[in-house]
Structure 1
Amino acid sequence: MATSSRNGGDESPHVLAVDDNLVDRKLVEMLLKNSSCRVTTAENGLRALEYLGLGDEQHNTSNENENGSKVNMIITDYCMPEMTGYELLKKIKESSNMKDIPVVIMSSENIPTRINQCLEEGAQMFMLKPLKHADVKRLRGQLMQC
């Protein structure tokens, strides 16, 4: 297994994609992989928190998950059962280990108050679904700045 460098070199950025809709999740995964990203998917916010090591017992001390794989960006749907993308964003930003990871929120609804709320809470970007290749190119630009 390759050791992770500080996102320089040839190491592909690792993106955690969170969406309860399988079709949307697969689309995001395909677009990101076509842009040379490594992608891990989760079907809801709770699974994402588990993957990040931020489940009920917050014992993780780095922004690596239990597999030792650093996540460079999280892209999440806004509207999901059990935990919204906004709630996931808040949990990540409250974590001392994860708060610097860029979080991108996606939604099929263009609601300015919702968009502003997410950006004020620390979201890197808010994108409308369905994502297009141009959106992923913008994301890739964000990843290169990390």
Structure 2
Amino acid sequence: MACPSSSMAMGENGEDEVIHVLAVDDDPINLIIIEKLLKSSSCKVTTAENGVRALEYLGLLAGDVQHNSPNTNVPKVNLIITDYSMPGMNGYELLKKVKDSAMFKDVPVVVMSSENIPSRINQCMEVGAKMFILKPLKQADVNELKSQLMHKRLSM
């Protein structure tokens, strides 16, 4: 089940700005590491142990009505980081469902994998992944993602 935890960062105007990241990985150890790295960068983190749980959290499962009608209970997510290789629904399938949704199509999705397979990387990038990161996720990767997100916010 998805479990939220939070941290805050102060914005330039003195208001609290929070980058909310949905982290998806079937390996609980990897999920803990990802969560710690993101929290150390002052991100709010929600974790999901598989693609179905992530879609459930976002309200994008076929039986949910959140994606078909306006709903104030839809979570605000600024970034999704997902493992590629997961049972049931892999990261590519999750990426496609997110990019096909009206609510979350503009949310950047980063796919991670311990396998450096060019065709897999290209496939994810073509469908709309922001980045493809080789595991293990490093603090430098998190810093780069956060920097890109903050730049995108400031330029809007």
Q: TM-score, normalised by structure 2?
A: 0.83
Return closer, same or farther for 1:72/1:21 CA change in 2, 3 Å cut-off.
same
Question: Structure 2 residue aligned with 1:40, among 42, 46, 49?
Answer: 46
SS in 1 for 2:86: coil
Deviations for 1:69-109, whole angstroms, at most 9, x for unmatched residues? 31110000000000000000000011111101100000000
Deviations for 1:45-65, whole angstroms, at most 9, x for unmatched residues? 00000000001224214697x
Return closer, same or farther for 1:53/1:109 CA change in 2, 3 Å cut-off.
same
Residues 62 and 97 in structure 1, CA contact (< 8 A), matched pair in contact too = no
Return closer, same or farther for 1:29/1:104 CA change in 2, 3 Å cut-off.
same
Runs of at least 4 residues off by over 6 Å: none
Question: Structure 2 residue aligned with 1:81, among 71, 78, 87?
Answer: 87
Instruction: Give the unaligned 5+ runs of structure 1.
Output: 1-6
Task: Please give the alpha-carbon distance, in whole angstroms, between the structure 1 residues aligned to 2:57 and 2:16.
Answer: 24
Question: Structure 2 residue aligned with 1:91, among 92, 97, 104?
Answer: 97
Kindly report the root-mean-square deviation, in angstroms, between the aligned alpha carbons of the 2 structures.
Answer: 1.8
Instruction: Give the unaligned 5+ runs of structure 2.
Output: 1-10
The structure with the larger Rg is 2
Q: Which amino acid aligns with 2:18?
A: S
Q: Identity across aligned pairs (percent)?
A: 62
Aligned length: 138
